[in-house]
Amino acid sequence: MNRKQFLILLVLVVVVGAAGLLVRQRSHDSWQSGGTAIGQKLLPGLAVNDIAQITVKSGTGELNLAKRDNLWRVHERGDYPANFSQISELLLKFADLKMAQSEDIGPSQLGRFELLPPGAAPNTGTQVELKDATGKALGSLLLGKKHMKKTAGNPQFAGMGDEGWPDGRYVLVGAGAKNVAVVSDALDSVQTKPEAWLNKDFINVEKPRSIAVQFPEATNSWKLTRASETNDWQLADAKAEEKLDASKLSSITGAFASASFSDVAVPAAGSLTNITALSIETFDGFTYAGKIGAKQGENYPVQFAISAQLPTERVAAKAEKPEDKAKLDKEFKERQAKLGEKLAREKALGEWVFQLPSYSVDELLKLRSRLLVEPKTNSPAATEK
């Protein structure tokens, strides 16, 4: 190589290097002009306490959460109360979202990262809009494809085509954003299913004293009672030939203790057909009057009317010592106060029809004959051939 060729090669290296630096600087400037650099928050200064409306759009689905009377509600479920803890956790997470890394992609590549606007088309993202009580926009995020971390270690333990596990997500910030960030949170809880956002606090039947089920066919109906919490259950109005099978009662007598529901029926009107009536009375004075509708898929629509007669004065025991009276009176008042709060909380559920999973209802719907000891039958001996 002569001196002239060497100089030409040297000039080319300098030009290529300068071009590379320029491209890199432009890319860096592009990220900086967007107001966000690696390690910085995506929504700096987000006024979390001012957020009163959350709209989530994904595909053709839409979810609207709104704060009314200082209570978050799910619009798609007739404004049923939402899970405050879940919403609070998500908003705090949004406020702290930071760019973990950047992806330099053009508009034509947005679909590959599932960052197209929500709609019926494929490769769309999940749009999250945050607003205050007046409807003023406070923040907007378009969540795209999850960022996957490849499986490490011996390849023989990874399945063919294993993409790893999600350790983040591609995100566009604000309307018309061009820069794509990767955050170190997959944000799995962001979805448009209304049932996933409901407050799942429900009734809790404690110390049942009687349980009665009234079927449309009266002969199938039954009622169980017991004189105290330690007494055995008895079948009310049992006939001489009817003997209660105690081994069949545990799943019935414990019904709706720490109960849960799958969803809320909307609209509630007319959703109950072929009704079976349920009544549960407790030693604390609560009465749960329920209407159980015809089974719908894996759930039963159920509506409760809760009432209670709570004594205001304690009846002292005959052998009660004077020095014990103050302590027992205090315990009684504290217990009655908690029961009063429980009544107010559960009574408010009466306007709703709940979808209860079949496993929590099926046992209650046993016919009267299914609660009895099965009669023994003498089977004829097998005939020898």
Is 372 strand, coil or helix? strand
Q: What is the pLDDT of residue 240?
A: 92
For residue 174, pLDDT beyond 60: yes
**Nearest 5°: phi and psi at 252?**
-90, -50
Question: Which sign does the torsion angle of CA 346, 347, 351, 353 carry?
Answer: positive
Q: What is the mean pLDDT of the chain?
A: 87
Range of lowest pLDDT (223-237, 310-324, 354-368): 310-324
The CA-based dihedral angle spanning residues 114, 168, 170, 56, taken in that order and rounded to the nearest 10 degrees: 70
Range of lowest pLDDT (18-27, 40-49, 160-169, 198-207): 18-27
Q: How confident is the model at residue 29 (pLDDT cuts 50, 70, 90)?
A: very low
If you average pLDDT over residues 355-375, what whole number do you get? Answer: 94
For residue 25, pLDDT beyond 70: no
Q: What is the pLDDT of residue 210?
A: 98
Q: What percent of the chain has pLDDT over 90?
A: 69
- List, in sequence order, every residue forming a beta bridge with 101; answer none if it has no partner: 182
pLDDT in tens, 338-362: 999 999 999 999 999 999 999 999 9
Range of lowest pLDDT (162-166, 275-279, 281-285): 162-166
Q: What is the pLDDT of residue 324?
A: 87
CA–CA distance, 125 with 111 (Å, rounded to integer): 9
Question: Whose CA is closest to 178, among 33, 24, 2?
Answer: 33
Residue ranges per domain, the chain? Answer: 34-149+164-197, 208-314+325-371
